[in-house]
Structure 1
């Protein structure tokens, strides 16, 4: 079944990032944003269900906004104000309506990376 999933890894502490708020949006015409879901990561740094699946999974432009600033503050880390990274927006495209798109975020208070996983 086609689906979109994510996983957040705290590379500063070497563990999954539990409790990170993320907001998934779809863009129409490259400008008009529709929020599709607002959720948090579980103890494994994943969401309990796919972000998109079945009929909701469509070709188009999407964005996942990862709210990492509050997560790092909750870990007891001393961050500058404002923090270097607060919300990490990842905008990406889904071109295959039958695929599995996995968009992980590897993050520290000072850097992040992503890739299309499996």
Structure 2
């Protein structure tokens, strides 16, 4: 059964990104449809798959990480507006029977992602 998961790692502190709000959207023909919102737990992960089974379809998706709120809570003093605040990650699902793990590695001045397992 296919599923979508994520987690957040704070690369500056070497810690899980706890309490980060993540919005999930499906992108279809120029339309952006909100699917759900999740919050990362103490391990920087969600308590379960974000989407799974019939909820995960072939197509394009967007995860929107509200990292600025997390960075503020960490006491990061890089001024306002933040260099990084809301981070959108767009990606495609070509085979909805597979596991798509889309993590966010974040610091106050950079971020990256990859398709994990």
TM above 0.5, yes or no, is: yes
Secondary structure of the equivalent of 1:72?
helix
Question: What's 2:6 paired with?
Answer: 6
- How much has 1:14 moved relative to structure 2? 0.3
Q: Distance in 2 between matches of 1:89 and 1:74?
A: 20
Question: What's 1:90 paired with?
Answer: 89
The answer (yes or no) to whether the contact 1:24–1:37 under 8 Å persists in 2 is yes
Q: TM-score scaled by structure 2?
A: 0.97
Question: What's 2:17 paired with?
Answer: 17
Deviations 1:12-55 (A, max 9, x none): 100100000110100111x1111111111000100111111011
- How much has 1:63 moved relative to structure 2? 0.3
- How much has 1:97 moved relative to structure 2? 1.7
What are the ranges of 5 or more consecutive residues in structure 2 without an aligned counterpart? Answer: none
- How much has 1:108 moved relative to structure 2? 0.2
How many equivalent pairs are there? Answer: 117
Q: Distance in 2 between matches of 1:71 and 1:6?
A: 16
What are the ranges of 5 or more consecutive residues in structure 1 without an aligned counterpart? Answer: none
Q: Give the ranges of 4+ consecutive aligned residues of structure 1 lying more than 4 Å apart after TM superposition.
A: none
1:18-97 paired onto structure 2 within 5 Å: 18-29=18-29, 31-97=30-96
The answer (yes or no) to whether the contact 1:105–1:113 under 8 Å persists in 2 is yes
Secondary structure of the equivalent of 1:55?
helix
Secondary structure of the equivalent of 1:83?
coil
Q: Distance in 2 between matches of 1:39 and 1:75?
A: 20
